[in-house]
Chains A and B, each alone.
Chain A
Amino acid sequence: MDHVRPVPDGAPQGAPSAGEGTRLADLLHRSGLGDEAAFAEFYDATSARAYGLALRVVRNPAHAEEVAQEAYLDAWRSSARYDAARGSAAGWFLTIVHRKAVDRVRSVEAATARDEGWNRETAPVDHDQTVEAAHASLEAARVRGAVATLTDVQRQAVELTYFGGYTHTEVATLLDVPLGTAKTRIRDGLIRLRDLMGVGS
């Protein structure tokens, strides 16, 4: 698996491309050999995405910084285990960031829930839908364009899970739909994005 393919109608300037993918993979490879300068370069190429994602999910800037820092330390430690044959370096790293961010929001909620007793009901949290001041880039515009083609219910399901950090069970409850429906919306939405963005072989 595979780096992001160029868009059919010509890759926009400055967008992550096969070139960026190769460069990031190479930087991770060198990091695995203990090259701190290479990792600093990897940081500079990914930190806005990593921090922005963590911030979007956990919402608290101090927590987002901690999440991003933990993710970078994990990436450094496991850099020799990144396998370019199995996915892009950015995808590999942002998966780590996302997992940590989601773990963080859920553990904060669990800590709150513990204070209220262990057998609490899952209550929907009031989330404002403010989109963070996003770094303008052509790639971002491309992704937004693809997201805009999803059906409303697919987009909602994908955003509540990926950015909201909700489980599919919670999403089903929030939207008052059967679990199978929530599951299908998430998967169908992602598959559509995958096809539009040309991910995969």
Chain B
Amino acid sequence: MSEQDVHKLTGAYAVDALDELERARFEQHLSGCEDCRAEVAELLETAALLAETTATPPPASLRESVLAGISQVRPLPPELPRPAETSRRGAWIPLLVAAALVLFVGVGAMIVQPWADDDSGRGTLTATEQVMRADDAQEVFVDLGEAGRATVVRSKSVDRAVIVTEDMVAAPSGKAYELWFQTPAEDMVPAGMMPEGADQTMLLEGSAADAIAVGITVEPEGGSPEPTTEPIALFDLTEAT
């Protein structure tokens, strides 16, 4: 997509007409494009005015359930200004800072992982290393274009699979990437949430030997028991080499 085309997505973004992957890419663009941020803010405000034309009194039960619901939930604390925040860039700086923090968490998790996997009985290799070094390791590479690249490695003998991402765009705000094994019966079994960060190596949760594919979908943070959106990438393991 050309640079000029990206700017024209403000309208489609404001009416939620982008799919998950496009939304994620565009939000990444927004973090660095002040003109688009200003235009998006105005167009969101404009789009919301359209709701004036469809106003419909709700059933009384909605009011009751909303008020009963809020009495059980504490409002989140405000986002505190961060010392490093010097420029005036609205909500985007905290997001970027959050992304940087998550990267550190990701590294921490990888350091911790060897101990977690140590009782696997295969010497000092982590499960991830076992998969990557297995004689029967199969690799499937998927190029997501501007959204990044990802490779799934699966070893039937180790019965696990690993995903390696490169330059992966962050999931849309409030969303996360969830991984799935597709079974021979074509059921989708949750295989864990992908850590945030562009370049990740992650051991998928659960048995991998029989999976016919691995999928990635965009889900609400915390994940879903079954996919709620179309996969943004599907790694067909039946054709893996």
Contacts and interface: CB of A to CB of B under 8 A. Distances in A.
A163 B50 contact: yes
Contact of B186 (A1, A32, A117): A117
Contacts of A200: 42, 45
A140 interface: yes
A36 interface: yes
B45 A48 contact: no
Q: How large is the interface on A (under 10, 10 to 19, 20 to 34, 35 or more residues)?
A: 35 or more
Contact of B43 (A32, A167, A171, A190): A190
Interface string B43-83: 11111111111111111011101110111011111110000
Given A73-B69, A183-B12, A110 B229 contact: yes
B5 interface: yes
Given A94-B51, A113-B230, A167-B19, A190 B14 contact: yes
With most chain B CB atoms within 10 A of its CB, the pick from A78, A142, A186 is: A186
Contact of B53 (A72, A102, A147, A161): A147
Contacts of A166: 17
A191 B8 CA distance: 11
A45 B215 CA distance: 43
A52 B75 contact: no
A80 B78 CA distance: 5
A177 interface: no
B69 A49 contact: no
Contact of B45 (A39, A87, A135, A191): A87
A180 to B, nearest CB: 7
Given A1-B41, A76-B70, A143-B50, A183 B8 contact: yes
B183 to A, nearest CB: 13
A68 interface: yes
A194 B43 contact: yes
Contacts of B108: none
Given A65-B59, A133-B56, A186 B75 contact: no
Nearest to A32: B75
A161 to B, nearest CB: 4
Given A51-B58, A86-B41, A197-B49, A189 B66 contact: no
A131 interface: yes
A134 interface: yes
B234 interface: yes
B91 interface: yes
A36 B10 contact: no
A81 to B, nearest CB: 6
Interface of A: 1-2, 4, 16, 31-34, 36, 39-40, 43-44, 47-53, 55-56, 61, 65, 68-69, 72-73, 76-81, 83, 86-88, 90-91, 94-95, 97-99, 102-103, 106-107, 110-111, 113-114, 117-118, 131-135, 137, 139-140, 142-144, 147, 158, 161-163, 165-169, 171, 180, 183-184, 186-191, 193-194, 197, 199-200
